[in-house]
A and B are shown apart, each in its own frame.
Chain A
Amino acid sequence: MEYKVEAHRIMSISLGKIYNSRVQRGGIKLHKNLLVSLVLRSARQVYLRDYYGGICLSAQQAREWCEGEYMDSEQDKLVPGSKESMPESDGQSEVAVDKQEPSNVVESHAALDVESEASGEQDHAEDGVLDSGCSELKTPEENPEASPTFEVPNGVTTISSNCISGPPPSNPEQATETPNDCQTDGSESVEENSLERTVPQTCTNRKRSADDSELTDSLPKRTKVMSPPLISKNDEKRAETEEMDTSNVSSLITIFGSSFSGLLSSEDGAQPDSEADQDSDSGQICCDQMLKNLNPWSTAIVAF
């Protein structure tokens, strides 16, 4: 349980770093972003470890099968699917967080294109959930595993194409919309999240340097917006998060070793139990799906 929290925390930090790298002077640093994406992938793998092994193979095959396919035609299918699955994710606050993160990853890479789509979406009380431990991913979602997994790769490629097509100049305009939105969300997340003490929760401005502040800013919007990439991930993540609840603690311990020794002691029990928000849940599941199958590099590198 605690290891999931740590993995989740590392994922959120990584996403924040990737996000921040976009505004850093000198342009995106390929090397650092590559390393951050590797950490993100490792954390994701550990986070989804329990059923990752079982589904991994099928997911890989599905991904390869879907490589190169454009998602446009499938988006319509996905949208209804995700909408159906959303109500199912009750009480999955932590799940919501995960969902948000991956979408954040994707969109932070996507030159803010996807973000811009999400901008304008408010009412995400679960921003802080981003930082909360995602240890309660119990309730298996009903989504069929097969179809979502097949759809995720499409989402990936779609996002990539989004990134390619997204003109950088348009980003600033769209980005400006978000700060206002962020403020509301940020304050909510502050109230609800107590886990991430190290990460400032009061995100009120996209320009803030705190990693997670920017992260949480954009997160809620993503989950709200039923953008096709998110939706596709929604389904897939939903299927995969179903089996996450029981973690193999001993195996996790061996993996983490001493890396988390200092962190675990401070993290135990700090599970914010923010009320489940269906949208954020689906977003979280979506993020999980995303993390599982999406190469965070796709959009960043393409944009690069």
Chain B
Amino acid sequence: MCEDTDTTRTLNHGFLRDHNYVTEADIISTVEFNHTGELLATGDKGGRVVIFQREPECKTEPYSQGEYNVYSTFQSHEPEFDYLKSLEIEEKINKIRWLPQQNAAHFLLSTNDKTIKLWKVSERDKRPEGYNLKDEEGRIKDLSTVTSLQVPVLKPMDLMVEVSPRRVFANAHTYHVNSISVNSDHETYMSADDLRINLWHLGITDRSFNIVDIKPVNMEDLTEVITAAEFHPHHCNLLVYSSSKGTLRLCDMREAALCDKHSKLFEEPEDPSNRSFFSEIISSVSDVKFSHSGRYLLTRDYLTAKVWDLNMENKPLEIYQVHDYLRSKLCSLYENDCIFDKFECAWNGSDSVIMTGAYNNFFRMFDRNTKRDVTLEASRESSKPRAVLKPRRVCQGGKRRKDDISVDSLDFTKKILHTAWHPTENIIAIAATNNLYIFQDKFN
């Protein structure tokens, strides 16, 4: 159940669309902080990427602790058409991953169902002035008017953020790409679709290596697909991928060129008492994240979030019930397709708290050490700037407190699928359909 935590959550900044109706293209489909937390990137169904930058803290205003403002917006992917298969390729951004910063520019990878692109985000705040052959507007000068030579100098100008595509990694996936992950070697990255995982070099676009292939010889024998994949944060040879059967496989690229054979298999035996028609669906892992330490894995399936220890394969270390009250409603959720929602999960910087989203614009945080958890809501009404978020509670019958929400009045169209946690501070980004909420902790 939810309890008050020591810290209060205040709304730092909300990027809320003005209109009440939701344009499908505006639906946020991925959220990702960069490695320092200075930049926050969101991708939407319309193929656009919006980057927010945290303003430096201003000492004169102690409460404006670095708010996030829009830094750049660009169109990453466009809708395409596969003429061979007569299929439309959606421009929805499935994942964004930042590269570790190596120079003044920032690089990020964005992917839709088929194509991954590397974007360079750079600033320009100076421009040369004083050309000899052209004037300030760029028109060619009449040579007869040039009487002396001058050296162009760099003068400050208004900050301009330039985004340019540096690489396009295409034509490597037959199935829909669901994950990308940058390796800790900062040179390679992987992209995973339903049946295969490819390894790329960031500088080479016309070639990729297939490292995992679970496509059966006969597609009729297909029993599981890859749902998420990630590289280990420190060991460049280790990667993990999750399957629709609820299993995790840790692969070591040193073992073989093709990592079909896993090094470790993390699987929890199914509880026969909970068996139902939808057992397979709710056991499908929708997201997997390594902890920052690299010691643990966080997975999310439909009803639970689980923490696994890399050293223990037979069962998870911790299981957190996100919204177990939905277990009796699986049939209805199957009918309205909600049971296929893919919730993401996130670690905090110290790996002590995990966070994941739920319905009715609720999101939940679980403290692994104190075993306390909280349910919060991301909504316009409850989120005025500087307002403290009130913990919410879902009651399942029985004694109902004031402000409790009953299970039947949950709005299943308002789902929080994508969340992100700042790498070091307690700042979280919550994507609620087409709105982005950024909350930050304020210790009392």
Contact = CB atoms under 8 A, between A and B. Distances in A.
A262 B90 contact: no
A212 to B, nearest CB: 10
Interface string B311-344: 0000000000000000111111011010010000
B227 interface: yes
B220 A31 contact: no
Contact of A10 (B176, B225, B284, B334): B334
B194 interface: yes
B328 A301 contact: no
Contacts of A13: 334-335
Contacts of A32: 340
A55 interface: no
A34 B244 contact: yes
Interface string A182-216: 00000000000000001000000000000000000
Interface string A32-59: 1011001100110010000000000000
A31 B331 contact: no
B198 to A, nearest CB: 16
Contacts of B331: 6, 10, 259-260, 262-263
Contact of B327 (A39, A258, A297): A258
A39 B89 contact: no
B225 A27 contact: no
Interface string B261-287: 000000000000011111011001000
Interface in B57-95: 82, 85-90, 92
B220 A43 contact: no
Nearest to B194: A30
Interface residues of B, number: 40
A39 B175 CA distance: 22
A35 B328 contact: no
Contact of B176 (A29, A42, A261, A301): A29
B219 A35 contact: no
B373 interface: no
Contact of A39 (B219, B275, B334): B334
Listed residue (A13, A256, A257) with the most chain B CB atoms within 10 angstroms of its CB: A257
Contacts of B334: 10, 13, 39
Interface string B233-245: 0000000000010
Contacts of B170: none
Interface string A239-267: 00000000000000001111111110000
Contact of B89 (A27, A260, A263): A27
Contacts of A198: 335
Determine the main DSSP class of A at the interface with B: helix
Interface string B84-114: 0111111010000000000000000000010
Given A30-B176, A34-B225, A256 B219 contact: no
B222 interface: yes
Interface in A278-302: 295, 297-298, 301-302
Contacts of B175: 30
A302 B176 contact: no
A199 to B, nearest CB: 9
Contact of B280 (A38, A46, A256, A260): A38
B335 A39 contact: no
Interface string A97-134: 00000000000000000000000000000000000000
A10 B277 contact: yes
A252 B334 CA distance: 19
A297 B335 CA distance: 20
A214 to B, nearest CB: 15
Contacts of A31: 176, 178, 194, 225, 227, 244, 284
Contacts of A25: 88, 90
A6 B277 CA distance: 11
B144 to A, nearest CB: 62
A213 to B, nearest CB: 14
Contacts of A29: 176
Interface in B214-256: 219-220, 222-225, 227, 244
Contacts of B82: 27
Interface string B345-388: 00000000000000000000000000000000000000000000
B195 interface: yes
A6 B274 CA distance: 18
Interface in A133-164: 160
B49 to A, nearest CB: 19
Contacts of A26: 87-90, 92, 113, 176
Given A25-B88, A30-B194, A258-B328, A297 B277 contact: no
Contacts of B340: 32, 35
Contacts of B90: 25-26
A168 interface: yes
6 contacts: A10-B277, A13-B335, A25-B90, A26-B176, A42-B277, A302-B219
Interface of A: 6-7, 10, 13, 17, 25-27, 29-32, 34-35, 38-39, 42-43, 46, 160, 168-169, 198, 255-263, 295, 297-298, 301-302, 304
Given A32-B340, A39-B280, A169-B86, 5 more contacts: A10-B277, A30-B194, A31-B194, A34-B224, A259-B328
Interface of B: 82, 85-90, 92, 113, 175-176, 178, 194-195, 219-220, 222-225, 227, 244, 274-278, 280-281, 284, 327-332, 334-335, 337, 340
